[in-house]
């Protein structure tokens, strides 16, 4: 289990202090896959460095399986870090070592017998679907395969927590799906707790059980995926269920209609929209299956004179209706994170 308690990291600059992390509190239960999303500058890189204690927090606690890593002296911290497996953006493999020896390396340097380390490495390569590529060097592997070797290496020491720092940022979507499927399979096979730092909502939609939105060093919103996506109108729900941009005429109005299968079937929603009359049209929409339920958003185009009637009719039916106001994109670039 991962537990962060009032975590703060303050950097001093010539012009004053900057709080890169400003009171982060978060619990990720055993066996859960949790995503942390946010723009550049939100504090994601600082957070993962504090989680691994590459940066000492200014204050607060970082608990892994109940042990406060931030309170450990250097020698015990080295041992404590063995509870954490780390998957980097680009794999970070040794070019001079084949896949088997890359995975075995963390075990060898901690004193495991070479034969046992190689046997464990082969077992992990089998787990990530690369058992037949043990003799291949990084240059002979695709980007997705290198990332899967990185996942296997992160698991070598039997950690209880797997941290993934933008694991798909350098991959195309087809390869990303394969890597995420491996992470999910590993999570289900050995029950490891996974924390994924990402700016890609597609990653959260495919693999995460819960999600947090980090902005300006604070968690703005968090919760199980099924609850977050039905917090209609919130920025995180909008980003998870995005709509394509639709044109609108000068004499027309736009409305957003949101729903989940917990309350309505798609057939019921379409019937309700059809009953609005010929002066209303669906301009764009999206439907996703997340956390075991189907959630959707439609943008409808209505005549200005009919707007109040349409809103009242849809709200009376129990649908969530809002005017798209182009809210600020919390995943937009906010600049580089502060550094000491």
pLDDT for residue 336: 42
* Position 279 in a domain: yes
Residues 105 and 43 in one domain: yes
Which residue range(s) make up the domain with 274? 244-322
Examine the domain organization and report whether 132 and 165 are in the same domain: yes
Instruction: Return the CATH number at 310.
Output: 3.30.70.260
Say yes or no: 119 and 248 in one domain. Answer: no
Is residue 136 domain-shared with residue 164, that is, in the same domain? yes
Partners of 298 in beta bridges: 257, 285
CATH number at residue 156: 3.40.50.300
Q: How many domains does the chain have?
A: 2
Does residue 190 share a domain with residue 263? no
Residues of the chain scoring pLDDT < 70: 246-251, 325-340
Residue 268 lies in a domain: yes
Is pTM beyond 0.75? Reply is yes
Do 29 and 130 fall into the same domain? Answer: yes
pLDDT digit string, tens, across residues 302-328: 988 889 999 999 999 999 999 875 544
Residues 258-304: tens digit of each pLDDT: 999 989 999 999 999 999 988 888 889 999 888 888 999 999 999 88
């Amino acid at each position: 289990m991962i537990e962060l308690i009032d975590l703060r990291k303050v950097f001093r600059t010539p012009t004053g202090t900057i709080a890169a992390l400003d009171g982060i509190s978060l619990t990720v239960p055993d066996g859960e896959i949790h995503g942390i999303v946010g723009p550049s500058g939100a504090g994601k890189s600082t957070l993962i460095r504090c989680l691994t204690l590459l940066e000492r927090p200014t204050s607060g606690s970082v608990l892994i399986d109940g042990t406060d890593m931030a309170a450990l002296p250097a020698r015990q911290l080295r041992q404590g870090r063995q509870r954490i497996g780390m998957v980097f953006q680009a794999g970070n493999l040794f070019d001079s070592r084949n896949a088997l020896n890359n995975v075995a390396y963390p075990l060898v340097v901690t004193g495991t017998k070479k034969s046992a380390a190689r046997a464990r490495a082969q077992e992990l390569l089998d787990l990530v679907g690369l058992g037949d590529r043990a003799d291949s060097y990084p240059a002979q592997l695709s980007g997705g395969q290198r990332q899967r070797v990185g996942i296997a290496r992160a698991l070598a020491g039997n950690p209880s927590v797997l941290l993934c720092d933008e694991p798909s940022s350098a991959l195309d979507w087809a390869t990303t799906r394969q890597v995420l499927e491996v992470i999910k399979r590993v999570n289900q096979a050995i029950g490891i707790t996974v924390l994924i730092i990402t700016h890609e909502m597609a990653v959260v939609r495919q693999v995460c059980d819960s999600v947090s939105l980090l902005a300006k060093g604070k968690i703005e919103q968090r919760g199980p995926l099924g609850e977050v996506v039905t917090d209609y109108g919130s920025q995180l729900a909008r980003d998870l269920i995005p709509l394509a941009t639709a044109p609108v005429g000068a004499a027309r109005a736009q409305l957003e209609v949101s729903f989940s299968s917990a309350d309505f079937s798609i057939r019921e929603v379409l019937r309700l929209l059809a009953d609005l009359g010929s002066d209303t049209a669906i301009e764009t929409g999206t439907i996703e299956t997340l956390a075991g339920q189907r959630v959707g958003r439609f943008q409808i185009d209505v005549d200005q004179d009919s707007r109040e009637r349409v809103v009242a009719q849809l709200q009376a039916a129990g649908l969530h209706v809002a005017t798209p106001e182009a809210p600020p994109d919390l995943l937009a670039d906010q600049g580089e994170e502060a550094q000491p």
